[in-house]
Amino acid sequence: MITYYVYILECADNSFYTGITSNLTQRLESHQSGKYKDSYTSKRRPVNLVYYCELTDPNMAIETEKRIKKWSKVKKQALINGEYDDLPNLAKKKF
């Protein structure tokens, strides 16, 4: 059974990057090294892993990544901080 990781990185410019992978260690090394020069994180290094969850269903992992990518920074921060009760009330808007 393959494990999929949905993760959030905090970039050097304080922005968040959300991604999905089946090999978290290797993917983090790719982000840190700037392996893909045109990627979002390449010019925002160093990056710091601030959140991840493990899923075994690839479709659920993809859906989770897409849902988190649409969230506001405040809502992502609540997820990172483990403030799960606050998530439903944090709509995608500027605070």
Q: Which one, of 21, 79, 82, 83, lies nearest residue 54 by Cα?
A: 21
- Overall fold of domain 4-89: GIY-YIG endonuclease (3.40.1440)
Q: What would the pLDDT profile of 36-67 be if each residue is shown by its tens digit?
A: 899 999 999 999 999 999 999 999 999 999 99
pLDDT per residue as tens digits for the range 9-30: 999 999 999 999 999 999 999 9
How far, in Å, CA of 36 to CA of 83, rounded? 33
Helix then strand then coil, in percent of the chain rounded to 5, is: 40, 20, 35
- Whole-model pTM: value is 0.93
Closest of 3, 33, 6 to residue 17, by C-alpha:
6
